[in-house]
Chain A
Amino acid sequence: MRKETILNAALLFGLLAFPLWAWVADEPFLITLTTRAIVFAIAGVGLNFALGFGGLVSLGHAAFFGLGGYVMGVLAFHAQTYTSVMDWPFVISGTKSMPIIWLVTLILSAILAVGIGALSLRTSGVYFIMITLAFAQMLFYFTISWSTYGGEDGLSIYVRNGFPGLNTMDPIQFYAICYVILLMVLAFVFALSRSSFGLALGASRQNEDRIQAVGQVPFRLYLTAFAISGAITGLSGALFADLNRFVSPTMFSWQTSGEIMVFVILGGVGRVFGPVAGAVLFIVLEHTLGGLSEFWHIYLGAILLGVVLFARGGLYGMITGREVAHE
């Protein structure tokens, strides 16, 4: 447990020190790279809550990632074109304010997750995997044909959205926003993992007979976890879209769902900080191996395969040993 805490701290420190150094050394690209890792980390923390803590293998988390992206895209698009999103039954105008966009994203992602979860959680096993994938696929095809917002070509947002008091176009300032959000999300998930809800959720994952014998219904626990998980991943989608100032249906693709899972697995399923390590590792691999060969996905695949076959606990498993129960 101590080793895990040390690794957690090291990651947080590294994610703070590295971009600050890059800022001083005037390497804005490296700052943006770190921001990318942070956004991926948040996406992974979201999935990890459903997958690692709840045992729900969702192959459709891109649904939330994409929703967050399009919430940002739609609201910002209407703001930059000075049109309203909706005129009837009441007027909704666009906005380029990040806090508002995040709030809307969190709410809509949670609602989507409750919707998808309510239907999907009636199944289990491979059926659950498939039905979550199906929902993401539906959204994927839907946005491709939704030409109002770019369809297959996607939507560009020319100017990064605004945050009161900051110049969000400045890489270091946008990075700071994302870093703080990551800290808040991690603190939230950490608290959850030690809470009553966390204890019950984990018990349900391990043994559904047991959780029912103490008077709790697994479905309600899973649905709540799924909603929280979807909201967090949705938020990361909005940040991702803002980072790239671009949103496209690819954010809903099965490849994206797979990538988010890769972050979680590389770091270590079920560890609060696992996806942070996984995302950082992924970005490092993408940057270094990607620089060596355009076929770097072969190496990524090999590493992933190696982790699954031989190092099941991911990075955290390798460094801190067998997962220890909390306390």
Chain B
Amino acid sequence: MSDPILDISGISKSFGALKVSNNISLDLRSGEIHALIGPNGAGKSTLIKQIAGGLPPDSGTVYFDGQDITALSTAARARLGMGRTFQISSLAQEYTVLQNAVLGALGNRGDVFRFFRPVMKDPDLLATANEALELVGLEDFKSFVTSELSHGQRRQLEVAVALTLSPKVFLMDEPMAGLGAEGSHRLMGFLGELKQKAPILLVEHDMDAVFTLADRISVLVYGEIIASGSVDEIRGNPIVRTAYLGEEAET
């Protein structure tokens, strides 16, 4: 296939004496879901921050769509097409569902410094926003204030806002967290379709989802990638088994 859309190599980061990321390399190819798993404290969220922006690595590079983005800001990376959902929902809580979605569409279009037209009446933005909300199934909740949504609905909204950015890549940090069985299944089906639009780097704890959805899996333990490969390869890998001893048993 073509070159990977996201190419991370040699990422290292230390906080004082603690090496949180140790020479991490991985890539993301178009059309795939690449899951990143590992026990708590392995450094998954730190790695996502270094890829999405906001936390500069001590060494290593991040290539996105052929471009070296290691020195770029979070906002610049978002503009280049990096979509992201946060581990702890990061939405404008006072705004309605529709407003959050329109915000995403607006950010994507880029013309934020407009002072006179009512933004919530802009047909293009509304179209993009509504489309995204329909895809995640929140179209009936458009006028709900975000702080009133359930946990699962906020997750859906996060995905919807990421969608409005027409991203080339999705970085998803534990999207299943806090979802019940039904919500998880829904999201799983949705992610399976989503990967056609843009590949997904999926950080997850929910092994059910990981083994169902992932095309590739990388295992992060104590800041290092200890194994990387297909679902079957990882499942059968004794090192991975050892690392997960004591963690939730896989089915």
Contact = CB atoms under 8 A, between A and B. Distances in A.
A109 B113 CA distance: 20
Contact of B112 (A192, A200, A212, A327): A200
B35 interface: no
A292 interface: no
Interface in B14-40: none
Interface in B66-99: 73-76, 78-79, 84, 86, 90-96, 98-99
Given A192-B115, A200-B107, A221-B112, 18 more contacts: A194-B119, A196-B112, A196-B115, A200-B106, A203-B103, A206-B93, A209-B54, A209-B86, A210-B90, A214-B107, A215-B76, A216-B75, A216-B112, A324-B145, A325-B94, A325-B95, A325-B145, A327-B98
Interface string A183-201: 0000000011011111110
A205 to B, nearest CB: 9
Contacts of A215: 75-76, 78-79, 107-108, 110, 165
A32 B134 CA distance: 56
Contact of B161 (A214, A216, A217): A214
A81 interface: no
Nearest to B88: A209
Contact of A206 (B92, B118, B165): B92
B62 to A, nearest CB: 16
B113 A202 contact: no
A36 B35 CA distance: 64
B115 A197 contact: yes
Contacts of A166: none
B75 A196 contact: no
A122 interface: no
Nearest to B144: A325
B112 A197 contact: yes
A153 interface: no
8 contacts: A195-B118, A196-B111, A206-B95, A212-B75, A212-B78, A214-B104, A215-B78, A327-B98
A216 B107 contact: yes
Contacts of A217: 73, 75
Given A212-B74, A213-B84, A214-B106, A198 B92 contact: no
Contacts of B122: 196
B115 A195 contact: yes
B120 interface: yes
Given A214-B104, A215-B110, A325 B96 contact: yes
A194 B120 CA distance: 7
A224 interface: yes
B54 A212 contact: yes
B91 A214 contact: no
Contacts of B111: 196
Contacts, number: 113
Contacts of B91: 207, 210
A112 B127 CA distance: 40
A326 interface: yes
A211 B73 CA distance: 12
A323 interface: yes
Contact of A207 (B92, B96, B104, B119): B92
B94 A196 contact: no
A323 B93 CA distance: 12
Interface string A156-199: 00000000000000000000000000000000000110111111
B92 A210 contact: yes
Nearest to B74: A212
A325 B86 contact: no
Contacts of B75: 211-212, 215-217
Given A215-B108, A215-B165, A206 B113 contact: no
Contacts of A216: 75, 107, 112
Contacts of B214: none
Contacts of B98: 327
Given A212-B78, A325-B145, A327-B96, A200 B116 contact: no
Contacts of B145: 324-325
A211 B76 CA distance: 12
6 tightest Cβ-Cβ pairs between the two chains A and B: A214-B107, A215-B78, A215-B79, A212-B74, A196-B114, A194-B118
Given A323-B94, A325-B96, A196 B78 contact: no
Contacts of A198: 119
A191 B118 CA distance: 7
A202 B119 contact: no
Contact of A214 (B78, B114, B118): B78
A213 B99 CA distance: 15
